[in-house]
Amino acid sequence: PWHPFHSLLEFDLVEALFEARLSNRQVDSILSIIHGIVEHPGCLKVKDHRQVKNLWSSAPGLHGLSPFKRDTVVVSYETQDHKFDFWSRSLKAWISQIVEDPYLATVIQWSAMKLSKFDGKVWVPFVNEPWTAARMWNVQSKLPPDGVPMCIVLYADKTNLTASGSVQGYPIMAQLHNVPQEIRNGKGLGSIQVVGWLPVIGDDEQEKGKTEYTDFKKSV
């Protein structure tokens, strides 16, 4: 009777996932965890959000991520100040956790390098990781002799409106490009992390289409 779902429970799960407005990566991660619980039913003891919060706050060394903090962004439009909540976590704290991790510290590429291969006539430069690209080389050349670049890529997906607790916004993602591809594109501390939420600004029908209003939204 629950076609195309295999059971009412599966329908409830899918409905909850959509209502939570999670990213595709988050949905895949949750489903993977659920299948693991099915195989090992005794490994899950938490029963409600209070236990989840207590466990998370009591084990900062395991997840290695600083909590989100709220700041107020003030942007003027037509002589009026408009305030928006901006939630973010410390990039410095996140990077510190990575470089202090016993394993990740051994695989971090601390310095830029140049690679080339001989085509039979000349040596041709090529790139196979971010630290072999010209940009990282140019950045490091401007640092003090004992300085090294930590290359962080930040991006936001404005097609993915996401909710996390009471916070709703477009996730701002951070990725460290000093670690190998299989780590930065994998899971765990060295992978992509949500470090902030772009505020959601509703469309004002009276202002919609105006260049000034578009610039205002971009400023926010």
Q: Per-residue pLDDT tens for 114-150?
A: 999 999 999 999 999 999 999 999 999 999 988 999 9
Banded model confidence at residue 65, pLDDT cuts 50, 70, 90 = low
Work out the mean pLDDT of the chain and round it to a whole number.
Answer: 84
Q: Tell me what pLDDT residue 124 has.
A: 93
Mean per-residue pLDDT for 80-95? 87
Q: Are residues 92 and 7 in the same domain?
A: no
Q: Tell me what pLDDT residue 156 has.
A: 87
Q: Domain containing 70: what range?
A: 62-109+149-220
In a domain, 177, yes or no: yes
Banded model confidence at residue 188, pLDDT cuts 50, 70, 90 = confident
Nearest to 175 by CA among 159, 161, 160, 189: 189
pLDDT of 211 > 90? The answer is no
Mean per-residue pLDDT for 3-25? 86
Q: Can you read off the two tokens belonging to residue 32? A: 């993977």
In a domain, 138, yes or no: yes
In a domain, 11, yes or no: yes
Q: Are residues 119 and 201 in the same domain?
A: no
Mean per-residue pLDDT for 30-41? 87
Q: Are residues 84 and 132 in the same domain?
A: no
In a domain, 24, yes or no: yes
Q: Are residues 116 and 31 in the same domain?
A: no
Q: Are residues 25 and 116 in the same domain?
A: no
In a domain, 181, yes or no: yes
In a domain, 50, yes or no: no
Q: Tell me what pLDDT residue 134 has.
A: 92
Q: Are residues 27 and 127 in the same domain?
A: no
Q: Are residues 78 and 102 in the same domain?
A: yes
Nearest to 198 by CA among 166, 155, 140: 155
Mean per-residue pLDDT for 145-158? 89
pLDDT of 63 > 70? The answer is no
Q: Tell me what pLDDT residue 189 has.
A: 84
Q: Tell me what pLDDT residue 157 has.
A: 76
The structural domain count of the chain equals: 3
